[in-house]
Amino acid sequence: MSPFTRPELVVRRCDELLSVNQPLAALSSISEVFSSKRFRTTPLSTLEPILIKFLGLCVDLRKGRTAKEGLHMYKNVAQNTSVGSVEVVIQKFLEQSRDKLTEALAKVDELEGPAEKAEKVEDGAAEVEDLEASETPESILLSSVSEEKSRDRTYRTLVTPWLRFLWEAYRTALDILRNNARLEVLYQTVSHEAFAFCLTHQRKTEFRRLSETLRSHLTSSQKYSHQSHSINLNDPDTLQRHLDTRFQQLNTAVELELWQEAFRTAEDIHGLVGMSKRAPKASMMASFYEKMVKVFGVGQNYLFHAAAYGKLYSLHAARAAVSGDKAEDAELEKLSSLVLLSALAVPIGSGLLGESGKAREAGEEGEAKGRLGKLAALLGLAAAPTRAGLINDALNRHVLKRVSPELRSLYNILEVDFHPLSITSKIEPILAQLEAKPETARYVEPLKDVVLARLFQQLAQVYASLKIERVVKLASFEKDGEKEVTRKRVERFVTEACRRGDLDVTIDHSTGSIKFDEELFRSDNTPVASTSSQYDSVKTLQPSASTLLRTHLTRLATTLYATLDIVSPDRSPIAAALTSRAAAFAALEAHGADERDTLIARTQIIKRRKELADEQTARTEKQEAHQRTLRAQQKAEEDAKRAKDELRNRELERVRKEVESVKAAEAAKIAESLVKGGLKVDLEKLPELSAADLVKLQVEQIEKDKKDLSTKLTGVAKRIDHLERAFRREEIPLVKQDYEQQQTRDRVAHEQAQVSRAETLRSQHSANLAIKASLVRIMGDYHAFKTKTEADSRKAYEQEEQRLKEQLEEAKAERRREVLAQREQEKEDRIRREQEQAEQAAYEAEQARLRAEDEEREAAEKAAIEERRRKMEEEANAQREAQLAQRLAERKADQERIALQAKREEEALARRQNGIKPPAATQTGPAPIGSAAWRAERAAAAEPTSTGERPRIALQPRTVSASSPAPSPPVAEARPSGPPVIAAAGGAKPSWREREAARKAAEAAGEVAPGATAGAPGAPPATGPPRVGSGTWSSRRAAEGASQQEPSRGAYRPPQGGDRWSR
């Protein structure tokens, strides 16, 4: 393992290697930082310049895979702390890659000369088809033997490698940025740049791969949505960015003419729009429908091509209605012509499924239905469009008023008029005009098919059979050429129409005729598609036999109803319907105000409930967002704490290892020094020795060395003293001799130098005199030229100075004019702003006044509604009070009648007890009522008669026959366990309200104690029919045949007669 190098020194080392032209070594040295264990603990401020340098080397050497690995490692380190650093690094990487490609293109232009735009496109198409495909020996051999231009070879050599590298860089960037909400903006930006790359260099294969990559990224983001910082498609901003990217993808696919990929992109857009909670922008949808028009047009799907034009026209019409721009009106007129023309060009019978194919299998039918439904949903349609529906929609949008006269004539010929013998001659000039225009020329051929279908539809209503030659002549256009071609086209059309079920036609080649068949008993559920009014707007000249047969009962019923209306208007359903309608209108007029008030109140309630629901939803979403934020914050804190603990542990481990390594190095160094000092150290036992042992050994070695050195110095000192003295004695004469020789040599060298210097100076002086003599002759000319040059220079300087002064004055004057004009303009702008502010203030005041009036009007309406409601409540209260007063009066009358009844009962009871017959008139004394009468009855029933039986009470029947001269007074039935049953005078039974009123009146008079009446509270008293038999409860029970138990005192007993409480 190589020793760790500080990151600060890596860049310096890399620059040194690059200065000696060693890029591979520099890349290798800088790669060691990423493989080090300390890479994760290095600060990002130190790592970022290292990574930028690393990526620059990877770009220069075209090491895409190495750059990808480094970026992934840096992203893992930096994404939790500094996302901006990741964005900066990736942007720098892509910028360097694009610069290299630009340099390569500029070099090609420099070597081969600038190329035209078309030639550049050819260069892009002439290179390799797939940038990711490796070059095979066969392709190399083919390129070597094939004839190609010099520019193509240069382009393939210089540009193609950088194209491949830039494409790999885009894929690397997208792979690093995917599925991270914090890097989402840069992800979308890189996607747009990749689309621009594919479009600029016409890279169709790479565009398909890029689309698949983005699609897989979107799928994986939904799969891993539970992870932290994942893409949340429920966020409107995130979804809008994805929609923008898909719209850019759709535009690029259309520009590259990749129609299949454009259709798949449109499906992706439809899926994202369905997920979005906010409506997409009108401009984006207009661009979407415009691209779908091209896609369906290239695929020759004229039905949905026209439907897309209809949707595009709707958007433009809405925008023109809002803006009122004349340019929009002109665009709308042009679009109106295309809408009508595309709808007319839809082949007759398009969009039909089961009913249009006689031999269609069930599986094919279901598949076709699914395909049409999918296409309809792609355009936002509820159901698959039809030709008649598209034309009706165009007419409802008043398209005929905006189109040109020839298109209006074309519509009348195809959809309104009935002229089978002259349809081709009338429509041929219009087709010629359409063919002359590039934007309408593609509709000529489908219009010819529509004309042919209309011809056969109209001929089928007039003729039963027709010669083939006559049909060919009627279907021929002048530009078609030979009639044989038209004949083949007619036969092919008839064959295809019969196979689809659009026509019932038979071609008889033996007689050379065409027979128009008709099935008399064809069901209405399986019409011929092209002649069915449900799917087409063909004009019917006369009903066919099958139509008459199929609608016979319907026409008979219609005739009978019309006859009944004439013969007996009173019994006519029409008269009954008119009467019911009049009654409904009268009821509506009577209750209109109440219904309106109720509707307004209901609308307000619904609005308030909706507001409350929205507030609740907003609160819920806010709470959920807050919870998510808290969870994310908690998780981030936990991650940070965990990372901090790991960092601290790693740091402690690193320090421990460094201490151990330092100790080991010091011990090895001490041991080495000891070995060099002559001390024997067992290297195998070195790890076992402690530092103290090593220090002890070292001290011993130092003492030993000191002793040896002292011994050596003593011997040397003795030896050096005598030897040095001898050397100095022998040296003295030799030094004197050398000094004399040196003086002699210095004197000779000085004399030679002086002689040589004098000769040099003499030669230089002679040469200077010769030069002076030659220059003296031109001195006059020199002075004259100098004087003239100085004068000219002074004159030019003065002229330039004067010109600059004039220019300065002109600039000052111009500046004054500009300042004055600017001040004037500022004054005008200030005045205009003040006017606009005043107008704005007036407009706001007017709007405030209108709002105040609206609020006052709404308040008045609410007050009126409240007043009307209050009056209704007062009327209801008054009505309830009147009813209450009426019930009280009835109760009072009942009380009086009940008192009278009680009096009569007591008189009858007294007479029976005394054995006296009832007098002719009622007795004058007061009779006991209520509980007193009941107690008297109990006392009478308790006393036995002379025969030993209790006396029985002869009860009056409940009803009296009509022939009775006068009703008998009411009597009371003696009951052993409860109050007497009271019968009303005349046999009529008193109601519960009457008895309650009598009881309350008696209580008010103080005659009856409250609560003395029998019966359960709030329940009607038992006023059943009169009973016969013994006065005892058992005898009455036996006589009545009732199987009921003896009621307790005061209990309520249900009536046994025709009382209304038993109903």
Question: What pLDDT, on the 0 to 100 scale, is given for residue 832?
Answer: 92
The pLDDT-based confidence of 549 (bands split at 50, 70, 90) is: confident
The answer on pLDDT for 651 being more than 90 is no
State pLDDT tens for residues 683-699: 566 666 666 777 777 77
Tokens matching residue 75: 């992203």
Mean pLDDT in residue range 647-666 = 81
The pLDDT-based confidence of 521 (bands split at 50, 70, 90) is: low
The pLDDT-based confidence of 971 (bands split at 50, 70, 90) is: very low
> pLDDT higher for 822 or 594?
822
- At 22, the amino acid letter reads Q
Question: What pLDDT, on the 0 to 100 scale, is given for residue 527?
Answer: 42
Question: What pLDDT, on the 0 to 100 scale, is given for residue 825?
Answer: 93
State pLDDT tens for residues 107-157: 887 776 666 544 444 444 445 566 665 555 555 555 555 545 556 677 777
The answer on pLDDT for 811 being more than 90 is yes
The answer on pLDDT for 821 being more than 90 is yes
User: Which segment of 12-26, 405-419, 586-600, 680-694 scores lowest on mean pLDDT?
Assistant: 680-694
Question: What pLDDT, on the 0 to 100 scale, is given for residue 968?
Answer: 44
Q: What gap in Å lies between CA 985 and CA 929, rounded to an integer?
A: 16
Q: What gap in Å lies between CA 59 and CA 52, rounded to an integer?
A: 10
Residue 1012: partners with Cβ closer than 8 Å, 6 or more residues away: 930, 931
State pLDDT tens for residues 308-320: 888 888 888 888 8
- Given a contact cutoff of 8 angstroms between Cβ atoms, the answer to whether 93 and 55 are in contact is yes
The pLDDT-based confidence of 5 (bands split at 50, 70, 90) is: low
> Helix, strand, or coil here: 507?
strand
- Share above pLDDT 70 across residues of the chain, in percent, rounded to a whole number: 74
> Helix, strand, or coil here: 548?
helix
Instruction: For residue 414, give the DSSP letter.
Output: I
> Helix, strand, or coil here: 912?
helix
Question: What pLDDT, on the 0 to 100 scale, is given for residue 365?
Answer: 58
**466 DSSP β-pair partners:** 514
Sheet holding 513-516, edge to edge: 465-467, 513-516, 505-508
Mean pLDDT in residue range 222-237 = 76
Question: What pLDDT, on the 0 to 100 scale, is given for residue 1047?
Answer: 45
The per-residue b/e assignment along 113-145, b for 16 or more CB within 10 angstroms, e otherwise, is eebeeeebebbbeebeeebeeeeeeeeeeeeee
> pLDDT higher for 373 or 744?
744
The pLDDT-based confidence of 377 (bands split at 50, 70, 90) is: confident
Question: What pLDDT, on the 0 to 100 scale, is given for residue 681?
Answer: 59
Q: With helix as H, strand as E and coil as C, how does 947-995 read?
A: CCCCCCCCCCCCCCCCCCCCCCCCCEECCCCCCCEECCHHHCCCCHHHH
Mean pLDDT in residue range 193-197 = 92
Q: What Å distances lie between residue 241 and 182, 187, 228, 304, 668, CA to CA?
A: 13, 10, 20, 28, 64
> pLDDT higher for 1005 or 939?
1005
Question: What pLDDT, on the 0 to 100 scale, is given for residue 1026?
Answer: 43
H or E segment to which residue 508 belongs: strand 505-508
Place of tokens 């041991």: 671
- Given a contact cutoff of 8 angstroms between Cβ atoms, the answer to whether 518 and 504 are in contact is yes
The answer on pLDDT for 294 being more than 90 is no
The pLDDT-based confidence of 916 (bands split at 50, 70, 90) is: low
Q: Which stretches of 132-203 are DSSP H helices?
A: 137-145, 150-158, 160-177, 184-200
Structure pTM? 0.51
Burial class (CB in 10 A: 0-12, 13-18, 19+), 39: middle
Tokens matching residue 588: 């509506």
> pLDDT higher for 138 or 655?
655
Question: What pLDDT, on the 0 to 100 scale, is given for residue 535?
Answer: 46
> Helix, strand, or coil here: 506?
strand
The pLDDT-based confidence of 638 (bands split at 50, 70, 90) is: confident
Q: What would the DSSP string read from start to end of 705-761? A: HHHHHHHHHHHHHHHHHHHHHHHHHHHHHHHHHHHHHHHHHHHHHHHHHHHHHHHHH
Mean pLDDT in residue range 829-845 = 92
- At 293, the amino acid letter reads V
- Given a contact cutoff of 8 angstroms between Cβ atoms, the answer to whether 304 and 266 are in contact is no
Q: What gap in Å lies between CA 77 and CA 643, rounded to an integer?
A: 11
Q: What would the DSSP string read from start to end of 205-274? A: HHHHHHHHHHHHHHHHHHHTTTSTT---TTSHHHHHHHHHHHHHHHHHHHHTT-HHHHHHHHHHHHHHHH
Residue 226 has φ and ψ, to the nearest 5°, of -80, -15
Residue 155: partners with Cβ closer than 8 Å, 6 or more residues away: 108, 123, 126, 127
- Given a contact cutoff of 8 angstroms between Cβ atoms, the answer to whether 36 and 10 are in contact is no
The answer on pLDDT for 979 being more than 50 is no
Q: What gap in Å lies between CA 942 and CA 525, rounded to an integer?
A: 91
The answer on pLDDT for 1048 being more than 60 is no
Instruction: For residue 276, give the DSSP letter.
Output: -
Instruction: For residue 522, give the DSSP letter.
Output: -
Q: What gap in Å lies between CA 408 and CA 411, rounded to an integer?
A: 5
The answer on pLDDT for 834 being more than 80 is yes
The pLDDT-based confidence of 942 (bands split at 50, 70, 90) is: very low
> pLDDT higher for 116 or 244?
244
Most confident residue range from 195-209, 661-675, 933-947: 195-209
- Given a contact cutoff of 8 angstroms between Cβ atoms, the answer to whether 498 and 505 are in contact is yes
Question: What pLDDT, on the 0 to 100 scale, is given for residue 844?
Answer: 92
Mean pLDDT in residue range 1035-1058 = 46
The pLDDT-based confidence of 803 (bands split at 50, 70, 90) is: very high
Residue 982 has φ and ψ, to the nearest 5°, of -100, 130
Residue 551: partners with Cβ closer than 8 Å, 6 or more residues away: 543
- At 168, the amino acid letter reads E
Tokens matching residue 55: 């990526």
Question: What pLDDT, on the 0 to 100 scale, is given for residue 220?
Answer: 84
The per-residue b/e assignment along 385-403, b for 16 or more CB within 10 angstroms, e otherwise, is bbbbbbbebbeebebeebb
The pLDDT-based confidence of 836 (bands split at 50, 70, 90) is: very high
The per-residue b/e assignment along 658-695, b for 16 or more CB within 10 angstroms, e otherwise, is eeeeeeeeebeebbebbeeeeeebeeeeeeebeeeebe
Residue 97: partners with Cβ closer than 8 Å, 6 or more residues away: 59, 162, 165, 166, 169
Residue 1036 has φ and ψ, to the nearest 5°, of -65, -35
The pLDDT-based confidence of 529 (bands split at 50, 70, 90) is: very low
The answer on pLDDT for 492 being more than 60 is yes
The answer on pLDDT for 610 being more than 70 is yes
Mean pLDDT in residue range 581-602 = 85
CA 527 to chain CA centroid, Å, is 42
In 3D, which of 161, 132, 146, 137 has the Cα closest to residue 61?
A: 161
The answer on pLDDT for 389 being more than 80 is yes
The answer on pLDDT for 211 being more than 70 is yes
Tokens matching residue 943: 């006393």
Question: What pLDDT, on the 0 to 100 scale, is given for residue 4?
Answer: 52
Q: What gap in Å lies between CA 173 and CA 94, rounded to an integer?
A: 8
In 3D, which of 249, 244, 221, 245 has the Cα closest to residue 233?
A: 221
User: Which segment of 45-49, 630-634, 795-799 scores lowest on mean pLDDT?
Assistant: 45-49
Considering the chain, what is the average pLDDT of its residues?
Answer: 77
- Share above pLDDT 90 across residues of the chain, in percent, rounded to a whole number: 13
Place of tokens 């130098």: 753
Question: What pLDDT, on the 0 to 100 scale, is given for residue 850?
Answer: 92
Residue 89: partners with Cβ closer than 8 Å, 6 or more residues away: 48, 51, 52, 55, 71, 74
The answer on pLDDT for 1030 being more than 60 is no
The pLDDT-based confidence of 86 (bands split at 50, 70, 90) is: confident
The pLDDT-based confidence of 193 (bands split at 50, 70, 90) is: very high
- At 1058, the amino acid letter reads G
State pLDDT tens for residues 436-474: 888 888 888 888 888 888 888 888 888 888 888 888 888
Q: What is the CA radius of gyration of the chain?
A: 59
